Amino acid sequence: MKLYYFSAPWCGPCKVLGPQMEKSGLPYTKVNVDSDTELSTKYGIRNVPTIVKVDASGNEVDRIVGNKPITEIKAWYNG
C-alpha cells in the first residue's frame, strides 16, 4: 500500500499536516493539487488535505479528508 497526500501551498490545514506527514515515516507521495491536476482528477480530489490509500495497481482502497491527528492516520494506514 502507498499513500498520496493531496495538498496545496495556500491550504491552512495542509500547513499543519504537512510537517507531521514528513516526520511520520509513512510511504507517501505529496501531490500539489494546483500543479498535478492529472492525479487530482484521477482520484476526484475536491478538498485538501486529502490522503488516498492505493494498492500496488494504483486503485483507491480508502481515503481521509481533512486534517486528522497523525496517530489516527497511522492507525488507519496500518488497519
Residue 41: CATH number of its domain: 3.40.30.10
Alpha carbon distance 64, 21 (integer Å): 13
The domain total for the chain is 1
Res. 79: pLDDT tops 90: no
Active site residues: 11, 14
In whole numbers, what is the pLDDT of the chain averaged over residues? 96
Reported as a single tens digit per residue, the pLDDT across 33-71 is 999 999 999 999 999 999 999 999 999 999 999 999 999
Q: How far is CA 45 from the centre of its chain?
A: 10
What pTM does this model have? 0.95
Look-up: residue for cell 490545514?
13
Range of the domain at 12: 2-78
pLDDT grade for 26, boundaries at 50, 70 and 90: very high
